[in-house]
Amino acid sequence: MNNVFEEIKIPKIPLQKQNETIELINPIENQILEISNSILPPQDIIDNVFAQHFGFDIENADKKKRELVHYASLEDLANVELKFDISLKYRYIFLNYIKNPSNIEWIELGKLVDVKGGKRLPKGQNITEEKTDYKYIRVDDLSWSGVFDLENIKYISEENHNAIKNYIAKENDILLTIVGATVGKCGLVPAELDGENITENFARLIIKDKDNYLPEYVNYCLQSKTSVYQIDEYKGRGSQGKLALFRIKKVKMPKIGKTQQQEIVDEIKAELDKQEPLKQQITTERNKIDKIIEQCIMTAQ
């Protein structure tokens, strides 16, 4: 079989011109790196806001996790009893570095939401890129930052939709991944995906107490370390870990009033918004590099 990379053609440019182009690009790449380093990951922003409000010891929790879990040997992880022991270690981290230092009341998720599953397509049926009236939300459509990729949503036929029509998501539901390496990834369903079918690898969390709990607050709780350590405790330890629906209901989150919930949501959104100009600046700098390369190719011809 031929190597496809061997067939790729690139412009033939004199070495001196290549060096001149690199000299122009290097300062821009350094600028991009500097800007990138100043951008905070969404989970860090969420954790910082929660820590400020509740006094969580996130730094030492992460340190303890590395000590107790990541240094475990593969032989240890293969032992069923030790797998259970690792789950207990996650509970230890949650209790000693998250829950106990907070001195606040906590509430189980099952008291706030109804938890439902998704549905796989009928055997032999597949998704399609051809647009139909029925979107099919997959785990791949959701980023770790909780944003759905609306540009690459796939579709299903009317026949397949009718077969799984009871397994949909509504706006402001929370979709939580429950199978595989992405267990715990979650996001708030936007209006664009209201009423669409969901994969069996999602759990659908329906806020049933909207008078007292904001969907945005519950979603941020699930994205934060307050829930991450609990989910790590409840999921299986294999490469294909699974989070049972009934265990989702056991996840605890801070029980606070709606006013403070809104404060937390607003603070997180404000910090996330601050990152956008930086991301746009990176895009602008990358466009500069593209133009330099285009100019190099044109002048070399």
DSSP code per residue over 124-137: T---BSS--S-EEE
Which of 187, 72, 178, 70 is closest to 117 using CA atoms?
Answer: 178
Question: Which pLDDT band holds residue 76 (cuts at 50, 70, 90)?
Answer: very low
Phi, psi of 218 (to 5 degrees): -60, -40
Helix, strand or coil, per DSSP, at residue 115:
strand
Give the Cα separation of 55 and 102 in Å (integer).
5
pLDDT at residue 71 tops 90: no
Average pLDDT, integer, range 278-286? 96
What is the chain's mean pLDDT, rounded? Answer: 89
In total, the chain counts a number of residues equal to: 301
Looking at residue 36, its pLDDT comes to 95
Give dist(CA 113, CA 209) in Å, integer: 7
Find tokens 């999921």 and name the residue. 235
Question: In the prediction, which pLDDT does 139 show?
Answer: 95
The answer to whether residues 92 and 67 touch, using CB atoms and an 8 Å cutoff, is no
Residue 286 in contact with residue 279, Cβ under 8 Å? no
Whole-angstrom Cα distance, residue 208 to residue 220? 17
Distance in angstroms (rounded) separating the CA atoms of residues 264 and 217: 7
The C-alpha atoms of residue 124 and residue 46 are separated, in whole angstroms, by 41
CB neighbour class for 59 (10 Å; exposed up to 12, middle 13-18, buried from 19):
exposed
- SS3 string of 253-292? EECCCHHHHHHHHHHHHHHHHHHHHHHHHHHHHHHHHHHH
pLDDT of 72 higher than 50:
no
Residue 62 neighbours by CB under 8 Å, 6+ apart:
225
Instruction: Give pLDDT, residue 202.
Output: 96
Cα(290)–Cα(295) distance, rounded to whole angstroms?
9
Q: Which of 31-45, 56-70, 113-127, 200-214 has the lowest mean pLDDT?
A: 56-70
Cα(163)–Cα(177) distance, rounded to whole angstroms?
A: 22
Q: What tokens does 62 get?
A: 């992460």
Rounded average pLDDT over 61-88 = 59
Query: What does the pLDDT look like over 11-66, one tens digit per residue?
Result: 888 899 999 999 999 999 999 999 999 999 999 999 999 999 999 888 888 888 77
Residue 4 has pLDDT above 80, yes or no: no
The tens digit of pLDDT for each residue in 223-263 reads 999 999 999 888 866 556 789 999 999 999 999 999 999 99
- Residue 239: the pLDDT is 55
The structure tokens listed for 271 are 């910090």
More confident residue, 79 or 146: 146
Record the tokens describing residue 225, joined without a space.
Answer: 């370390």
- Residue 57 to residue 51: CA distance in whole angstroms: 7
Cβ proximity of 255 and 107 under 8 Å: yes
Residue 198: what are its φ and ψ, rounded to 5°?
A: -125, 150
